[in-house]
A and B are shown apart, each in its own frame.
Chain A
Amino acid sequence: MPAPIRLRELIRTIRTARTQAEEREMIQKECAAIRSSFREEDNTYRCRNVAKLLYMHMLGYPAHFGQLECLKLIASQKFTDKRIGYLGAMLLLDERQDVHLLMTNCIKNDLNHSTQYVQGLALCTLGCMGSSEMCRDLAGEVEKLLKTSNSYLRKKAALCAVHVIRKVPELMEMFLPATKNLLSEKNHGVLHTSVVLLTEMCERSPDMLAHFRKLVPQLVRILKNLIMSGYSPEHDVSGISDPFLQVRILRLLRILGKSDDDSSEAMNDILAQVATNTETSKNVGNAILYETVLTIMDIKSESGLRVLAINILGRFLLNNDKNIRYVALTSLLKTVQTDHNAVQRHRSTIVDCLKDLDVSIKRRAMELSFALVNGNNIRGMMKELLYFLDSCDPEFKADCASGVFLAAEKYAPSKRWHIDTIMRVLTTAGSYVRDDSVPNLIQLITNSVEMHAYTVQRLYKALLDDISQQPLVQVASWCIGEYGDLLVSGQCEEEEPIQVTEDEVLDVLEGLLVSNLSTPVTRGYSLTAIMKLSTRFSGVNRIKKVVSIYGSSIDVELQQRAVEYNALFKKYDHMRPALLERMPIMEKSASNGPTEIAQTNGETELSVVESKHPLPITQPANQANDLLDLLGGNDVVPVIQTTMPTKPASAGGELLDLLGDLSLSGGPAPAPSVPSSQPSFLLDGLSSQPLFNDIAAAAIPPMTAYNKNGLKIDFTFERANPNPNIAVITIHASNSTEADMTDFVFQAAVPKTFQLQLLSPSSNVVPALNQGTVTQVIRVLNPQKQQLRMRIKLTYTLKGSPVQDLAEVNNFPPQSWQ
């Protein structure tokens, strides 16, 4: 048989192939030749054949039949064979292969070979792809080599040990003795790999970390030498001596200094030195600075150093090099939580990065911008972010839209601004908003009672422009269904009311039903909206016609809705007004969105508990009526079932007043369903009862929580239903001094096992001489039925001077928490 062709020859031949098919043919031919050569057990050419096989493997062709040949090559005495054999093993024999373990013995022998380059090959193979079993078997050999004086082998053994530890963490202890004098090496290769080994050990084991903390001075010294030493041609990169080693040392220092004051202090000086002296004209200097900044931010550095670090990042942001701007944004994102104010200073630069052409930078800038939004900069930031939303690539739009919604919910300066922002997002990126944003938005709109007319008008106008964006269309049709009466009556206060007739509105909604752009879900929304308008508009016939047409729609969902609505017209027309009445304000569940129930920090800290979405505080009378109707037909009447409904005097408490009425006038025996034929009775009940009631006919006695300097705070209690674990406390603050107490703020904190929700106070001014009280409702969730304790903080201004006081409230009556 003729000698197999040489590797280079084969490569040249294959490259002449003009088509994929031609290449495949050549390769198949060669593979066949190689296979028969393998079968002949030809030692001379095995190396050449495996090399060719590896080339073909790189082109994407199967090469598994060469696996055993690699093993034979490794076992050969010739260095050339071993070299190709180990290369083949690394490419073809990863740990998922059955024959992988067969290498173990060969590697073991080669680790003890007389030639260091053979030992090197074995260490390299083990260190790149050794399996756990292999590592377990050979760890001892590696450990031995870690202690040799041959620096070529020592550095390879160190990285091999790193691999062993990664695969079999339990073996870490074994390498501990060998690490004793690793850092006293002069050879940079050994130093570098030793630092990597130490880093790996410290990352994996807190004990090792504690043990190696004592190396900090030595590391600092090595780093100092690198910086101060003169030009060393062997390790120089653009004027910096061994940047790879410098960066690894900085990283190890970061791990050692984290949460440890002494170590952090020991490295303060060197970090400052590196931060100020490193040459920044080339990438390599910036790489070191970057690592330094990360280290400074992670350890317990003094504030001057931290400011220096943030300033370096600020300078990075202005650098021409895109890579450097990118890492600056990434690092700022990491530090924005801890050093928020410092990062805020660079806000304008960050916002400018939103306009960068580079996609990676834009994404980072967007994330960082959202992290920087707060109550003070919300208007400006939102303008920039909305502009970004308009012009960004589709891949960003969903995330940006969600971010805008979240930020708007947290920091909206006014309801109108909030609605406007939402409208802007829906109209510009309406098809990219997440599915759950539609119900969230609807809920938000319901809660902004005074903006209903404005909202529905704007949504209607948006619909006239564009009906392709489904989330926008869904929210709009829901609103038109709910508030269509406001739309046609032209009641809008916020802007110029538009003149719209009922027919025009119905035209738009019917248009949605027939349009090809509408999804089935959207069609469902518009059909329901049309139906709701039957109680709000005067012309019902048109609606009846539409509904009956869709009774035979192919879409099952639409058909079902239409048939049910039809039935409503025909047989249950008397129930229609009640069923289609205005929706009540929905209480947002605690799981999504910003906190309704705010977690407090336990007793030691006082947390400011603010109400973001107050429950029905400002409720116009018709809302109260709607609620009545609901309660009328509803089983769940909160107060009735519990022990004790005091009349809580809450701000805007028409709702709670009603509940109070129910209980007092309905008698003690729980009557779960108050029949709807009694609405008038309840209404009467409302009008005859004063809003603020001091009736203390309470099973839970009220208590005085605080009485000092003329300010008296009483607590009255009520148990909420359906959750008996919630106690509703109403505070009544009264002022017996001669002057008003202005800017009155009441704050409360409870131990960790409780949850607290503070609603808006009735006012910020406690009138003098007991002329009136400020009330505020607190809801406390006490699932573990522990004794209720509270720490309160009161701030107010009396006669021009601010007063602040802290107090503990421990004398809660047992019934309030049992």
Chain B
Amino acid sequence: GGGHKQNYRWVDFVRKQGEDGKSLEERVEKILYDPVRSARLALVASGRQKRYIIATQNVKEGDVVSTSTEIPPVVVSIKEGNAHPLGALPVGAMIHHVEKFPGEGGKYCLAAGASAQLVKKKTDTCIIRLPSKQEVELDRHCIAVIGQVSNSDHQDKHIGSAWRLRWLGFRPRSGLKSRKCGYDGKKIKSSRPAKLVTRIEPEPKVYKMTLDS
């Protein structure tokens, strides 16, 4: 517990198309630090609207970033920062900020340097491999952003002192120097089949009522 006080920045996780029906083009005005997450934020403006989104690696100030929700018959060309549905992307593309259900906002791969890979495309669904090597089957209309999440050197940085860990809100840890006994360590398992992501609606409860005259 503890740590330095942090102010929350309202980030928009939903990438929508423009109201005309055409793709929405936005210009990156600033890349900002966010104390709440490891990734960086991008201040993005279009028309009379400004908002914060998760920044992509290699996207600089002045770049124009677009989103579209259409799936054309031909696969789309790759440009970092652009958002497209999974059905429009080529197999093998590096993506992040992937939605679980279409229109609900990005859920997968939001941490610094994270990226998923598009593995297979079927008629209605697409399979992606997450950073934990787990495979997940999603609707092909779910939107994903091309590229890697910003701040990819986050893991390589050395914290340096115990004070800095406390500023980040981590209490002292113990048990790190205990010896390993052979039961620890990552075990190599065979890959499981891809998990289909669906929403199970609960069955409506049925109450039986009787009338006694």
Instruction: Please determine whether chains A and B interact with each other in the same assembly.
Output: no
B residues touching A (Cβ–Cβ < 8 Å)? none
